[in-house]
Amino acid sequence: MPFETSFQASPNEPAERVYSELYTSPAMINEHRKIASVPRLNGCTLETITASIMLWSDSTHLASFGTASLWPIYMYFGNQSKYVRGKPLCFAAHHLAYIPKLTDTIQDFYQQAFEKPATAEVLTHCRHELMQAIWLLLVDDDFMHAYEFGIVIEFLDGICRRVFPRFFTYSTDYPEKTLLACIKFLAKCPCPRCLIPKAKIGELGTRAGQALS
């Protein structure tokens, strides 16, 4: 989900700002201001809070031998300091979901339905659709209602505030990025978001149009 990354300081704010946490980033501050500026439903006057969601997912083997594995989705809150999130004993990570993998029966089903075996490209597309279907289950109608209108939560200080969840980061490795975007592995471009051909990666950092000598 797109966010404004430009930060416009007001005249009362200092000209310099130290960036070290997600909650001090321009994206977080701009999103907080955007939410606070929107009129609340039924004239609600509760303080608005941005719950910054940070996601990770990675298929993990459970043992050195065998094929047992899990594909978890972890969720952190950027409202917490990175020095807290980085400590395992703080239990800042939340297991959001586990993505299932295609079973061996998919080939039998495909053979019966189309009278030919599934190709590697078809299986990749099926894995992509399966992963997207899991996210559709997670981002359901209740979540989207909370995303648009917020959800009232009583904080530890006894004050109720209206909390708006927002996605800020989603970290995955290269194979999962290609699976999410359903693009060819190790194709012409290095990742789903980059338009630089791999042949020109060596020119990164040079002037535009300047070839390496």
What is the residue-wise DSSP string for 113-172? Answer: HHSSPPPHHHHHHHHHHHHHHHHHHHS-HHHHHHHHH-EEEE-TTS-EEEEEEEEEEEE-
This prediction has a pTM of 0.75
Query: What pLDDT was estimated at residue 210?
Result: 53
132 phi and psi angles, rounded to 5 deg: -65, -35
Structure tokens belonging to residue 207? 């002037």
Mean pLDDT by 10 residues, the chain (213 residues): 49 71 90 89 87 89 70 91 91 89 87 89 87 91 93 93 94 82 75 77 73 46
pLDDT for the residue 41: 77
pLDDT at residue 158, as a whole number = 92
State residue 10's pLDDT score: 62
